[in-house]
Structure 1
Amino acid sequence: MFVAMNRFRIAVGHEEAFETIWKGRESSLAEMPGFKTFHLLRGDTDAEEGYTLFASHTVWASKDDFVAWTKSENFRQAHKNAGDNRAMYLGPPKFEGFTAVVGA
């Protein structure tokens, strides 16, 4: 199992707009071999730094399945408008990938 996460720092006041974008996205993840689940997670707000932390979280059967997704036309289509809302982001997303060591 492979878990892929992107962490986003979203400017305070833009949280609902960010969530709306994700809720309205056309996704073809379910069509991809090895895809298991997706969640968009909302974390705490850091008022001093001016952002709320979000993470996109996908689970894949293997790292190879995830890498195949990132090279697919489905991936390009899902991310084609990613730069349209730069004002709500405090910097680029931070990718983190994990291979399961122990699991149920």
Structure 2
Amino acid sequence: MFVAMNRFHVALGQEEAFEAVWKGRESSLADMSGFIDFHLLRGESVAEEGYTPFISKSTWENRDAFVAWTKSENFRAAHRNAADNRSMYLGPPKFEGYTVVEGA
């Protein structure tokens, strides 16, 4: 299995708007071969830094399935308007990819 995560620093006060963008998006992840699941995680506010951490986490059968998603028309369509919401973030998201070594 492969886990792909993007870490976002969302400006304080923009949390609801950020969540609304994700909840209102058209997603075709379930149509992709090798896709297992997706979660949007909201962390605790980091008031002294001025942001709330969020993570978008998707799980795939393997890294190749994830890479195929990133090269697909579905991926381009899903991210087409991402720049429209740039004011919600403190910097760009940070990608992290992990191969599952052990799981329950």
Q: Which TM-score applies when normalising by structure 2?
A: 0.99
CA distance in 1, matches of 2:5, 2:32: 17
Paired amino acid for 1:90: L
Structure 2: unaligned runs, 5 residues or longer: none
Identity %, equivalent residues? 72
What residue identity is the alignment partner of 1:37? D
Name 2:93's counterpart in structure 1. Answer: 93
- Structure 1, gaps ≥5 residues long: none
**Residue 36 (structure 1) aligns with:** 36
Q: Let me know the Cα RMSD of the aligned residues.
A: 0.4
Matches of 2:56 and 2:100 in 1, distance apart? 17
Residue aligning to 2:21: 21
Query: Within 2, Cα distance between the matches of 1:90 and 1:11?
Result: 6
1:69-88 maps to which residues of 2 (within 5 A)?
Answer: 69-88=69-88
Deviation for aligned residue 1:85: 1.2
Aligned to 1:10, the other structure's residue is in SS state strand
Q: Which residue of 2 aligns with 1:54?
A: 54
User: Which stretches of structure 1, 4 residues or more, deviate above 2 A after TM superposition?
Assistant: none
**What is the aligned length?**
104
